[in-house]
């Protein structure tokens, strides 16, 4: 078990190296001159050359990459061009807010997906089952940013139950309840697509597990449905469900980026959007790198949970 974790964590290094190269090159490809952004259009050519030298932009590309990587590994993401703040200080609170939204959405997606999937699997071909399938199909194709706006229209503008956007009210106390009220719509918006896919997976995986011979025997023995599910079905059905839940995290993080913009949720997504609009490359770099790292680590966690659940995978 420990060996598995160490092996997977070591595997992160080459992947993150590749990720950092891609992000570095991408920023390098960005059109426009940093020195013009920093010094303004009136700057003389000499001043630009001097700044370029000070920033190390006149050095060969691999050397620039090495220096950037070295600083990044030490937690120095540079200074944001738009806000003149240290990017690390800018990114950290945003990261916490994004985590809050992502975890809340994941929780919702799991509760909805596992619940609806379980009921649909136990009542195959019932009205509930068919209805669930129709809804999951629709939810899977709905653009999340649009869904967010529709929810705002219904629950914030028409019914006035929930706030339109932001994370706290100006007049509010900024306490947990206030944040929670603001969290509902973005979390539902982000969760719906992944919840749909999880529902379908839970349903099909459970149906398959229910049809296995040992379950039929257990049923013939007269076990109650609850005992049957707990002892013989659920553990067998879990691995594909955990895998698909892990895959959904990718969509969830991606979806959260868009949702944050719709709801002005102060997380990494809206920071990424603002930084791109302001062409603030150090902030874009740090945000992208951080999200990718989180995504890679989460995937390892999912694999680890799967190994815990299914001993057969341990030797693989």
Partner 1 sequence: MDVPSDRVGVDGAAVAPPGEPRRPLSQRYWRLFAFLRDRTAVLAAVVLLAAALGAVFAPWLSAHDPYEADNLLRFAPPGTPGHLLGTDQQGRDMVARLLWGGRVSLLVGVVPTVLASIIGLALGMLAGYARGLLDQFVMRVLDVLLAFPMVLLAIAIAGVLTPGVTTEILAITVVLVPYVGRLARTATLGVVTMPYIEAARAAGGSSPVILARYVLPNVLSPIVVYATTLMGLMIVVGAGLSFLGLGVQPPVADWGTMVADGRVVLRRAPHVTVLPGVVILIVSLAFNFLGDGLRDALDPRTARR
Q: Which residue is it, tokens 């698909």?
A: 244
Q: Applying CB under 8 A, does 19 fall inside the site for partner 1? A: yes
Contacting partner 1 (CB under 8 A), which of 2, 7, 14, 60? 14
Contacting partner 1 (CB under 8 A), which of 90, 108, 152, 195? 152
Q: How many CA atoms lie within 13 A of 150 on its CB side?
A: 8
Reduced to 3 states (helix: H, G, I; strand: E, B; else coil), residue 172 is coil
Q: Applying CB under 8 A, does 131 fall inside the site for partner 1? A: no
Question: Which of 149, 181, 153 is CA-nearest to residue 168?
Answer: 181
Distances (CA, A) of 52 to 25, 154, 216, 275: 18, 52, 73, 21
Q: Applying CB under 8 A, does 167 fall inside the site for partner 1? A: no
29-48 positions binding partner 1, by CB under 8 A: 29-31
Distance of CA 176 to the CA centre of its chain: 22
Contacting partner 1 (CB under 8 A), which of 149, 218, 300, 305? 149
Query: Closest separation between CB of residue 174 and partner 1, Å?
Result: 26
Q: Which residue is it, tokens 């306490």?
A: 175
Judged by beta carbon, residue 43 or residue 149, the one nearer partner 1 is: 149
Cβ atoms 7, 56 nearer than 8 A: no
Q: How many CA atoms lie within 13 A of 56 on its CB side?
A: 11
Cα 97 to Cα 277: distance, rounded to the nearest angstrom = 21
Q: Which residue is it, tokens 């900024």?
A: 174
Only segment of 166-174, 212-220, 221-229, 269-277 that touches partner 1 (CB under 8 A): 269-277
Reduced to 3 states (helix: H, G, I; strand: E, B; else coil), residue 40 is coil
Site string for partner 1, 182-221 (x = CB under 8 A): -------------------x--------------------
Q: Applying CB under 8 A, does 15 fall inside the site for partner 1? A: yes
Contacting partner 1 (CB under 8 A), which of 261, 271, 283, 286? 261
Cβ atoms 35, 44 nearer than 8 A: no
Interacting residues with partner 1 (CB under 8 A): 14-16, 18-19, 21-23, 26-27, 29-31, 137-138, 140-147, 149-150, 152-153, 157, 201, 240, 244, 250-251, 253-255, 257-258, 261-262, 272-273, 276-277, 281, 284, 288, 291-292, 295-296
């Amino acid at each position: 078990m420990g060996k598995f974790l160490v092996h997977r964590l070591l595997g992160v290094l080459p992947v993150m190296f590749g990720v950092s190269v891609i992000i570095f090159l991408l920023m390098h490809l960005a059109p426009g001159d940093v020195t013009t952004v920093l010094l303004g259009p009136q700057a003389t050519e000499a001043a630009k050359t001097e700044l370029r030298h000070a920033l190390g932009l006149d050095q060969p590309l691999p050397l620039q990459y090495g220096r950037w990587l070295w600083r990044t590994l030490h937690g120095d993401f540079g200074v944001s061009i738009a806000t003149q703040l240290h990017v690390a200080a800018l990114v950290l609170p945003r990261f916490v807010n994004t985590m809050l939204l992502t975890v809340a959405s994941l929780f919702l997606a799991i509760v909805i997906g596992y619940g609806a999937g379980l009921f649909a699997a136990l009542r195959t071909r019932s009205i509930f089952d068919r209805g669930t399938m129709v809804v999951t199909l629709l939810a899977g194709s709905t653009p999340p940013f649009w869904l967010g706006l529709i929810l705002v229209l219904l629950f914030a503008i028409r019914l006035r139950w929930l706030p339109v956007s932001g994370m706290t009210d100006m007049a509010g106390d900024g306490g947990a309840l206030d944040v929670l009220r603001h969290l509902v719509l973005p979390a539902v918006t982000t969760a719906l697509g992944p919840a749909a896919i999880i529902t379908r997976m839970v349903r099909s995986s459970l149906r398959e597990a229910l049809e296995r011979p040992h379950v039929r025997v257990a049923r013939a023995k007269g076990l109650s449905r609850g005992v049957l599910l707990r002892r013989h079905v659920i553990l067998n059905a879990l691995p594909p469900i955990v895998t698909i839940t892990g895959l959904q995290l990718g969509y969830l993080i991606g979806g959260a980026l868009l949702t944050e913009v719709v709801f002005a949720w102060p997380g990494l997504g809206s920071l990424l959007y603002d930084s791109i609009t302001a062409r603030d490359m150090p902030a874009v770099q740090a945000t992208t790198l951080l999200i990718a790292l989180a995504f890679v680590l989460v995937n390892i966690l999912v694999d680890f949970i799967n190994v815990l659940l299914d001993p057969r995978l341990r030797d693989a």
